[in-house]
Structures are given as C-alpha cells and as structure tokens.
Amino acid sequence: MAQEIERKFLVTDKSFINMAFASHRIRQTYLSDNPDATVRLRIKDSDAFITVKGRNHGASRLEWEYPIPATEAEEMAVNLVGGFSIDKTRYLVDFEGWIWEIDIFHGRHDGLILAEVEMPEASCRPPLPPFVGTEVTGDPRYYNSVLSRS
C-alpha cells in the first residue's frame, strides 16, 4: 500500500517556468470523486494511468497507481464520464533538493496555478520557493477531483 504525503500552495508568479527541468501536458478525469475512494484517469503526454486514492488525512492519503493503455483511458473517459475534465501543464522544479510540481490549468480553470511538494513524512517542512503563496493543503476547493466537476 502506497501513501501520498504532500503540501499544496497557490502560486504567486510564473518565475518557476525558468527554473523547470521538465514539463508535461496532463489531461485527467474522475470515474469516482467519492472522497473515500477517488478513482482518476490521467493521460500524461502519451502515457496513461488509473489511480485510486483514499480520503485525505491532513497532508497524507493512501494511493495506488497503475499504467493502462492510453486508448483505453480515452475510451473510459469518453464513454463513462463524457471526456477529460481537467487540462493542465505540469512543470517540475528542483528547489533546494525538493521536487516541486507546478500545475498551470487550462480551459475552464485558466489562470489557476498550484504547486505541490511530496514528502516522505507529514512532519517534513521543505523550504518554500519564492513563487509559492498561500498554503491550501487540505482545502477541498483545490482538490483536482473537486475542480473536475466545478
């Protein structure tokens, strides 16, 4: 059983783009947005995954992720939930030894930029890069599963 432990922040500016060592286009949707058993479909560039996550407990939650054929992810998204509900570009930034994932949302969430950092344990306090602002860890308004239906 895997566990995801992360903190999430609003982003104040786009200075991170020049710091990024990689970027990926991500489309995703949810087969279930039940907080106790969220099921996500994601296509990242040309790779696809199905992910099951448990309820958030502060900065941590249970998580299982499996690769699936991209054609099947497309078929499930279209036939089960009407397509992909989130479109974003993810930038990866190394800041003082911590890898930050910064998402610029497109489409109906255009203008929203969120940064996340995964940690080995909830008590970690990674240094905050200059582009992060207000912490929104645990704020359901910024869960991708909530954004997918708003």
Catalytic residues: 30
**130 burial level (CB within 10 Å; 0-12, 13-18, 19+):** exposed
Identity (one letter) of the amino acid at 7? R
Residue 7 DSSP symbol: E
Long-range (24+ apart) CB contacts under 8 A made by 43-50 are 43/70, 43/73, 43/74, 43/84, 44/90, 46/70, 48/72, 48/73, 48/74, 49/73
Q: How far is CA 139 from the centre of its chain?
A: 14
